[in-house]
Amino acid sequence: GLTAWIDFSNPDALDYWSKLIQNFLQTKAGVSGLWLDMNEASNFCNGACQSTEHLSIQDLIQARYARNVSESSASSLPSLPSPPSREGFDPVNPPYPINNGNDRQSLNTKAIAMDTRGKYTIQYNAHNLYGITEANVTRQALERITNKRAFVLSRSTFAGHGHYAAHWLGDNVSNYHDLYYSIPGILSFQMFGVPLVGADICGFLGTTTEELCTRWIQVGAFYPFSRNHNVIGSPNQELYVWPSVAAVSRDVLGLRYSLLP
């Protein structure tokens, strides 16, 4: 469906997000943490999406305002922020583009429109901070609601992100190449200030094998953040699917737990 992205840099976001999380927790028994995915922010549209009625987010907000006010007060509708004056600079296609998509695609490709204005600046200036601001606000909201130390897992990060949330290395592939490179990936994030990090054990994309899953849990049991996870539609790869993997998993996970403080 149509999605509105919250500007987590806005101080008002904490109260709004806290209400949404509280409503969610009331309907989901047993939830003790939150997993933030696709928060680069990644998008299934290029820039602003359109609804089935071909209305933009701004059109829908204005329409909602219009339904909730009388005809006499319609002229006082609050106006939405206007796109910033570009003054010759195009944040969607800057003069020094990155090799986006390995094809120098527009920065709007599968992302929030770069000229979208938030509380303090446009998306072009704040895109790489979206994940850490969401993690920060989510952690504050959870701790406000539960009065307990929060667990938040986030795909998008920035330097120092570990103060707010854990991280996993994203969509890896079920092969030995990605098993191998999970180790330098995790070690790198220690330098970025994200100590609680791991990779999807047995691989996320593709089909794993009994041997690969065995080797991966032997390594993954010692990831700071350790989980088995794969894409929807892939064959089951829980550690108990193969008796041999289950036996090895009991040994290495038992060792992991014996080392935890």
| Tokens at 85, concatenated | 């004056």
Burial of 195 (0-12, 13-18, 19+ CB in 10 A): middle
Q: Decide if 238 is catalytic.
A: no
Angle in degrees, CA 214, 216, 219, rounded to 5: 115
Q: HSE-up of 229 (CA within 13 Å, CB side)?
A: 12
Q: To 10 degrees, the CA torsion angle through 76, 81, 85, 89? A: -160
| Tokens at 191, concatenated | 């330098």
Q: Decide if 251 is catalytic.
A: no
Q: What is the rounded CA–CA span in Å between residue 216 and residue 134? A: 31
| Tokens at 11, concatenated | 């101080």
Q: Are 168 and 197 in contact (CB under 8 A)?
A: yes
Q: Are 133 and 8 in contact (CB under 8 A)?
A: yes
Q: Of these residues, 171, 211, 238, 251, which one is catalytic? A: 171
Q: Of these residues, 12, 37, 90, 251, which one is catalytic? A: 37
Q: Decide if 59 is catalytic.
A: no
Nearest of 208, 182, 186, 203 to residue 195 by alpha carbon = 186
Which residues are tagged catalytic?
37, 40, 171
